[in-house]
Structure 1
Amino acid sequence: MSAHVGFPGPIDLHTHSSVSDGTETPTELVRAGVAAGLGTMALTDHDSTAGWAAASATARSTGITLIPGMEFSTRVGYASVHLLAYLFDPTDAAIVAETTRIRAARVTRAEQMVARIGLDYALTWADVLAQTTPHATVGRPHIADALVARGHALTRSDAFAGILHWKAGYYQPHYAPDPLKAVRLVRAAGGVPVIAHPATRGVDDVMAEARLVELVDAGLFGLELEHRENRPEAKARLYHLAEKYGLAVTGSSDYHGEGKPNRLGENTTPSEVLERIVAEATGSAPVTP
């Protein structure tokens, strides 16, 4: 695809709807982007493209530019690594199969965690389902919302810092592919991959340079470094690696509606970086007014 010059800003390339763990429907999310003054936004629900159609229709009617995307769950050992995938083909058989497997594993993991928590707190699987919408990718945020509804936590963030923290003893991982496999899948589907918030665990837990080189060789496009959860010292290290290996740097809010404190447009991506993403994508196209 040829590059689209001059995408309207501000540009926020990481948001979630109720299709995964956001609190607003895709339609409400796009309207929130308009209200926040965004010119361009990406919808990046976890392991799902189910919100693309509704978000696209709303974008066309409201005048905002939409970048269809997804946040792909991956794992290195016990560490979760999230991969933002932009403008890939949502019907690609390999992507569909992998994300279907991940979503199923998320549900199984969530049910097992709720069973454990339920031994110590008044919490049932029905409580969690009450916090989801049809076809949502069920995950820990929905458990957090159920804990809040039950009065066991004050906010979703409080639940993650307490009962849902891995040290509390209820956490368990779910299936997710290695980042290398995910990068290859996204590129094979015509998409453009960016590692989401890679500096959240501090400089000692920044991805090993040799592994990063593997991802670059497989087609990694960039790193989401302007994100509120990235730690400064780790971010500085990754800026150096991005420059060394020619990786683009993006900025995003990771907005979840009322589910997290992140606000739309609090971090943004330059238009020229988005133009490069679009120029490399062959799987789908931006939705323009």
Structure 2
Amino acid sequence: MTDDRALLRLDGEGFGLLFSRSEAEALGASPADPLLLGHDDEGPVFALPVPEEPPQETIKAIDARSIAVQGLLPPDLLGVVAQAKSLLDWHRRHGYCGTCGHPTRFADFGYRRDCGHCGAKHFPRTDPVVIMLVTHGEACLLAHEPRFAENMVSTLAGFLEPGETIEDAVRREVVEETGVEVGRVTYHASQPWPFPSSLMIGCLAEAKGRELTIDPAEIAWARWFSREDVTRMIAKEHPEGIFVPPPTAIAHQLMRHFAEGD
């Protein structure tokens, strides 16, 4: 990987992700600190940083978000990209010990950094994020954030705070961003999100009412939508041109779950 992008090989039938050791070295990857991602049928799979974008026309450096959104790789390789991106980013940001400030060194095939001065051992972290579909009867609450593409809406989301349960985090985030009080919260599914190292915890939240008080610092606008509205948005057929994130995003799956009446 180079910066926040993965190297993909154009093989005539699509993109491939894996390179042999000799190919990786030709691209400028140093095998000194191989980050072990796991094993496939041919042996161990490693991730290595590449210093510059490769000059070959058949190899492209593509950001991880575009790889997922555009469906450039099969689902079993998307997890490999997420794992590599998250770990390589962690190594870039943790070259020094958080305890004593001295340099740390690569250890345990990339799953630890050790400080030779004070002996501290540092491990990759994952930041938990709640992402929730808020419903009230036959309607769900979706919002447009200022950073979104025009006319895109999504579910609400936010980081957990120290000492907070998942359920309390859902209730706090919803009331902070929209003024809506939430009662029952149930877990639905999760998704790793390597931007840089989050775990999205997907929940379903039942609102106690529909009155909105939007926090303009977080939300540009929010509305309640019917199941028919959501079905049309997923199909990109909504009369107002409103659409939702792609199927690779857990927000899409939460909305599809609602639209199908599950």
Q: TM-score, normalised by structure 2?
A: 0.29
* Richer in helix (by share): 1
Flag the structure with more relative contact order, 1 or 2, with Cα contacts below 8 A and sequence separation at least 6: 1
* Richer in strand (by share): 2
- Greater CA radius of gyration, 1 or 2? 2
